[in-house]
Structure formats: structure tokens, C-alpha cells
Structure 1
Amino acid sequence: MTANREIDDILQRAADGGRITPEEALLLYTEAPFHALGEAADTIRRRRYPDNIVTYLIDRNINYTNVCVTACKFCAFFRAPKHKDGWSHPMEEILRRCGEAIDLGATQVMLQGGHHPEYGVEYYESLFSGVKQAYPQLKIHSIGPSEILHMAKVDGVSIEEAILRIKAAGLDSIAGAGAEMLPQRPRKAIAPLKESGERWIEVMTIAHRNGLSSTATMMMGTGETHAERIEHIRMIRDCQDLAVANGYQDTAVEAALEVGGFRAFIPWTYQPENNHLKGRTQATTMEYLRFIAVSRLFFDNIAHLQASWLTTGKDVGQLALHLGVDDLGSIMLEENVISSAGARHRSNLHELIWMIRTADRIPAWRDTLYNHLAVHRTEADDPTDDRVVSHFSSIAMPGKKQLPLVDAK
């Protein structure tokens, strides 16, 4: 109970599984007492996941090129075409990194890269089929609507044709990449050459219709307003409503189905180094945590909520587990894009499991679709591989030094 009856009623309705409006979500985000907000969000988590399990993943982000024509102002990773520091990895190097990832227990790879002016659908067909042929056990959770629009434009084909072709080539899941901020004003300010938020949603809708599920993301802290943050999740919830209405997604079960729809929502915070925005605005820790809780209350139709300890820090990531979060993300064996902009948080497998267990949760290793591969109910169940450390080879460019990341210990 709080001193505000209206806020009490909204929190109670959401905690009971009812839907709240964007206007009500904004009121909670800006006015609700923090502890009451967190308690309501965690009530939803406890009802949805009464087993008290929090999941994690082992994966690797592999970059195939840093050449990009989009030039987003928040990105420190890209290089313009013909730039002296531009590069593209050959298939042999990509497969080598996939093999290393499997050796360390990875079940998923995220293939990410810039919008290379020459890379159309055929390039991605070759990329995905090459990885699947060499390592059929790996799930390919990769690219996003921006890359799909780009490849379709390069080859002059429809969005649907591009999606069907890359799915047939081996793409298992679409990443929520490229969402950043979906509302028009902040999106134009940080990525004026990127597609509109409405176009991003359109591509996801087509992908869901054709049997591809995905994640959804949001980047906080580039000057957007509180209302624009809420508008972002409104657009995503409306898209998911369509998937549920058409039978592409069923959020009544814990494990996401192998059909279209959003499996999880993942908000993360803008990193300020080496990019044109130069950190003039950033989201505070409290803004992030409050938004995590509001997201759990707002998304009555998306099963999972993931905390981004990579951008916010491990202490904030662990605290988010008390605000409705049921997934702590991954031990990313390699990550270069966000790290290039200043993310310095590292972890190892033992520490990630410890973070979950000391938050009074049960750790579980999951796959891309949130199926549990191993549940660590006691310390005796924990894995023993000391090699599983995030960013063990965060070297995007051959011959460059490893990024100066904080020691996991």
C-alpha cells in the first residue's frame, strides 16, 4: 500500500495479472514508490515462475564485418565503407570462433555486423548455411530488422522473401537488435539513417508470421523522455498482441514455442565512449531499475524479462532479480559492439551462478528458447569448467590488442 490510491489500484491490478495502459505505466514509472513498484513486479515473476528459477545462457557474439552505411551516432564499432580500419571476416574465421564457442559449452551464436553495402540476402544465406553445415547443434540467434531491410534493399527483394530465404538457410531466431528507441523523435536524433520504429515493428511482424520468434530490446539513456520510453514498450506490446491473436505465440507456458513472437524483453543502457553522442545523457541506475519493474508489469504478453548486467554492472543485474527479472542473460564468450563503446563488465560462469543463488533464486542453464538444459539446485549441481569466462577473446580486428576489460575476479 502507498499513500496514493490510484497508484495502489494500478499496482494491484498489474500484480494480479491485469493489463495496464501506457498512461498508467508512465505514472508508475515516474511516481510509484520504488519498493511497492518492485514488489508488484516480483509478484508477477513468482506467479509466472513458481519454481523460483532464474536462467542464464552461454553464447558468443561473432562479428562478420564492421563496415556500415548507417552511421548511428551511439555506435563506436562501425567504420564507413573504404575506411582504413574496416574489415570483414572470412567464413573460416567465423567457423573457428563457432568451434571455440561449442568447446566452451555455447549453444547459441549471435552473428552481428554492419550494414555492408555489398551484403545482400545471398551473403546471409551463405553465412547461416555455412555455420549450420559445420555445427548443426548451434542455434543461430542473429541479426535484426535493420539488417533484414538492408539485405532486401541490396538484392531488390521483398522483406518476406528475404526472411523466408535466411530462415531456410539456418536462421533460428531474430535478435531484437536495432530497436534502440522506436519512437520517431529520439530515433531520428540518434540514428537518422536507420529505418523508422514502425518499419522495425513491421519486419518483426512479418518474421513472426513466418514462424520466427525473436527478442525485443531497448537502449536507454540517449536523451529520450520518460514518455518515449513507455511509448517504446507500447509499440512492442502491440506487436506481440498481434502475434498472440494470430496464434504465433503462446505466453501461457514457461517455455516459448518454436513459433513467431517475442520471447523476451531486454532493456540496456547506452554506453558513452568513442561515439558521437559522447555521453551527454545517460540513464541512471534508478531509472534503469524502475523501468525493469515497469516492464514486467506492462508486458503481460511477453514471457521473459532479462537484466543487462553487461551494461549496468553485476550488482545492478543482481538487484534486478528482485524486480521481476527471470533471466540474467549470458556469459558472452565474445562481445565487441557494446564493449567498443565502454562496457567493461565481465563475469565467469561460477560468478553468474553465484549471483543468481545469492539472490535466493535457483540457477538454470537454458537454451535459446528457454528450455532448461541443467538446473543447479545445489552447489553440487554446478558446472566445473573454469574456462567459461565472458569476453575471453574480445578482439574484433586481427592484430589488435584485447579490450581493457575489468578482471572477472
Structure 2
Amino acid sequence: MTRAMGRLLDDAAEGGRITPDEALLLYTDAPLHALGQAADVVRRRRYPDNIATYIIDRNINYTNVCVTACKFCAFYRAPGHKEGWTHSDEEILRRCGEAVELGATQIMLQGGHSPELGIEWYERIFAAIKASYPQLTLHSLGASEVVHIGRTSNLDHATVIARLHAAGLDSFAGAGAEILVERPRTAIAPLKEKGEVWLDVMATAHGLGVESTATFMMGTGETNAERIEHLRMIRDVQDRTGGFRSFIPWTYQPENNHLKGRTQATSLEYLRMVAVARLFFDNVNHLQGSWLTTGKDIGQLTLHYGADDLGSVMLEENVVSSAGARHRSNRTELIELIRGAGRIPAQRDTLYRHLAVHRDPAEDPVDDRVHSHVSSTALNLVPVAAAG
């Protein structure tokens, strides 16, 4: 390692703001273990209690009908397709009730951009969930859905956000970010809003008191410089709004979609991204590692590369699973992964407040029902080419 690289890592570990060019240099050239160590120093300073968290939630995908036709997606079906479906209000509420019974505190209601669903549909569903299960946090939809609802209902983004929030939406998920940089975003999702629009919607939401997360799907053909530019775009908005609670990078899955796995991020590229993100995002509190797309071993390693959270047990997940993510887990495994990384496991809520800290293994919660994919349309999937 050169002396200059060592100084840069030391400065970043001490909390100095690094530039995009410096982040790119670290991402491409820093020794892996030194990079992870620097990120872990930042994490330890932010969270000296040595706790790493997880959440119990359910992704309820309310429809697979979508007009956006993203090339990386294996879940969607075009309007009129014989395999298209939209869940009834009763089915969505049933799944919410099941989630509550299993200890979930959060619902991520996400789905396709169906031309049949306007603002009134979302308002009705959110209000019904809040009336039946007021204890559930609705961390749902995302900027792309706001853009879609705005088009179907002829409303501006601020009005859509305000009405969804009034109906019961608590915060936005980072869905739809994929990669925000124009060239790769256009290549994989030409019908989706531009990255600048996604960010503008999120900034508008933050201004209206609706916080969110930010995500990154890596491995669809973007360059290293474009990966860092994605981080830069998010950090600039966060400087203005402070509304992104966490950053969640994950890896593209190659099955049953038009990209066909021609590009993919390696596990080492993913770990390097996690570490650089912790060093680069001096203004984002939390960093979540992904076990769903990278596997539980790499998920555990993210806890040594700057991550302070392992995400959800994921009682249900259909979209990424449809594209080939085969990893499954349960609460016991997540607790053991966290403890095996030398950390203290804790169940959190959407706001990252600790609901239960598992300091004594003898007192760990035991419930075999709390496992991923309790109910999922993606299980036992017969591979088909994405429609459209």
C-alpha cells in the first residue's frame, strides 16, 4: 500500500469527507482488508455499543402488472398478460395480519406500475391497513411509484406524497433507485424516470416530513466511476435534506430477465462497495448489508466492512427471488450471524430504535415460524422469460 493511500484511508477513517475521486480510488485500488478496517473504524465510532440490528417485516407485492418493463426484472407482467394479477384488499389485509402474528413491525407494500391503480387505490389500502393494524409501520412504495401515481392521477409529486402520507404512509422505501446515473439507468430501465427525478421526488418527500432509504443495485453493466457517481448523487441530496435514514446496496440477480446475467458484481466488489459507502456517506446514519442477494456468508462479512444492520428476516419477498435469489433465512440465523461477527444482535423498528437486545444467547427468541418467504409467489417458480 502506498503512503498516499494509507493517508487517504486514515483520513477517511477519522471522519474526514472524501471526494468522489478519492472514493473511486479507494474502491478500485485500496487493499481490501485495509479498506474494510477503515470502514469498521467509522462504524465503531458511530455505534460504540457494538450492536448490529435486524428487523422483522414483510414485503407485500400487491401487483405484478407493470408498464415500466425494466430489463433486470423477472417479476413484472405487461398489462393484459395472462399471468398478471393484483391482490384484493382482503388478501393484502390477510397478509398484514399474518405478519403481525409473526412479530413484524413493518410492511413494505411494493408492486408494479399498473395503469389501473390511481391515487385512490393506494389511499384506500393504506387507510385500511392502518385501521386494522395501527401498530404496523408502512415503509412502502418509493419515488418511482410517486411518479407513476402522478401520471395515472394527473397530480404533481408533492400532492401525491402528501395524500399518501395522510392516508397512512409513514416513510418511503428506496425502491426504484437501481442506479441513478443516466447512461446505465437508460440501458436497463429506459421507461423509468431519470435518476434526477427520483432524487427530486425523494427530496420533496423529505421536505414534507416523509423520510426514506436509498438503495443501489450494482452489477448491471455500470462502470466503477458510475457506481461512485450514484453515491455522489445521493450524498448531495442528503446534504440538503437529511432525509435518507440508511443506504442499502444489493446485487443484480440474473435469472428470468432480459439482461440474462451478462454482467454481475462479484462478492469482493460488493464488499468494497459497502466499505466505500460507509466512508463516503458521512451524512447517512445507517448502512445495511444484503444477505438476500449475496448470501449469508457475505452478509455476515458486511458487518466487518462498515455495515451496522443486516436488514430483514423477510417474511415475504417476490421480486428479487423471481430473478434467482435463492437465499433463505430466519430470525435465529440472523441473530447467530450477527453474534458470530462479534456483534450484539438487536431487533429494531423502522426508525432503528432497539426493540429487543439479545445480549444473552440463552434468552434468544425461539419461534420456528419466523423465517423468510412464509408466503411468496416467487417460490417454486417455473422459469419464464419476462413479458413485454
Q: TM-score, normalised by structure 2?
A: 0.97
SS in 1 for 2:370: coil
SS in 2 for 1:354: helix
**In the aligned structure 2, how far is the partner of 1:52 from the partner of 1:16?**
18
Where does 1:273-292 land on structure 2 (aligned, <5 Å)?
273-292=255-274
- Paired residue total: 382
**In the aligned structure 2, how far is the partner of 1:205 from the partner of 1:167?**
15
2:90 pairs with 1:92: yes
Q: What is the aligned partner in structure 2 of residue 155 from structure 1?
A: 153
Where does 1:9-20 land on structure 2 (aligned, <5 Å)?
9-20=7-18
The sequence identity of aligned pairs, in percent, is 70
Alignment gaps of 5+ in structure 2: 383-388
Where does 1:4-403 land on structure 2 (aligned, <5 Å)?
4-243=2-241, 249=242, 261-395=243-377, 402-403=380-381
Quick check: 1:335–1:391 contact (8 Å CA) kept in 2?
Answer: yes
Quick check: 1:271–1:341 contact (8 Å CA) kept in 2?
Answer: yes
C-alpha distance after superposition, 1:156-175 (max 9, x if no partner): 11100000000000000100
C-alpha distance after superposition, 1:261-314 (max 9, x if no partner): 001000000000000000000001110001110000000000000001000000
**In the aligned structure 2, how far is the partner of 1:69 from the partner of 1:403?**
22
**In the aligned structure 1, how far is the partner of 2:74 from the partner of 2:102?**
28
C-alpha distance after superposition, 1:186-241 (max 9, x if no partner): 00000000000000000000000000110000001000000000000000000100
**In the aligned structure 2, how far is the partner of 1:167 from the partner of 1:392?**
28
C-alpha distance after superposition, 1:364-408 (max 9, x if no partner): 000000000000011123111121010121126xxxx6459xxxx
Q: CA RMSD in A?
A: 1.0
SS in 1 for 2:25: helix
Residue 148 of structure 2 aligns with an amino acid whose one-letter code is H
**In the aligned structure 2, how far is the partner of 1:359 from the partner of 1:228?**
31
Residue 46 of structure 2 aligns with an amino acid whose one-letter code is R
SS in 2 for 1:223: coil
Residue 62 of structure 1 aligns with an amino acid whose one-letter code is I
Residue 255 of structure 2 aligns with an amino acid whose one-letter code is E
SS in 1 for 2:292: helix
SS in 2 for 1:126: helix
Residue 191 of structure 2 aligns with an amino acid whose one-letter code is L
SS in 2 for 1:219: strand
Q: TM-score, normalised by structure 1?
A: 0.92
Residue 281 of structure 1 aligns with an amino acid whose one-letter code is T
**In the aligned structure 2, how far is the partner of 1:96 from the partner of 1:314?**
30
Residue 367 of structure 2 aligns with an amino acid whose one-letter code is D
C-alpha distance after superposition, 1:322-349 (max 9, x if no partner): 0011000110001000000000000111
SS in 2 for 1:265: strand
SS in 2 for 1:344: coil
SS in 1 for 2:62: strand
Offset of residue 69 of structure 1 = 0.4
Residue 299 of structure 1 aligns with an amino acid whose one-letter code is F
Offset of residue 127 of structure 1 = 1.3
SS in 1 for 2:53: strand
**In the aligned structure 1, how far is the partner of 2:141 from the partner of 2:124?**
14
Residue 53 of structure 2 aligns with an amino acid whose one-letter code is T
**In the aligned structure 2, how far is the partner of 1:402 from the partner of 1:91?**
25
Quick check: 1:394–1:403 contact (8 Å CA) kept in 2?
Answer: no
SS in 1 for 2:313: strand
Quick check: 1:375–1:381 contact (8 Å CA) kept in 2?
Answer: no
**In the aligned structure 2, how far is the partner of 1:208 from the partner of 1:9?**
36
Alignment gaps of 5+ in structure 1: 244-248, 250-260, 405-409
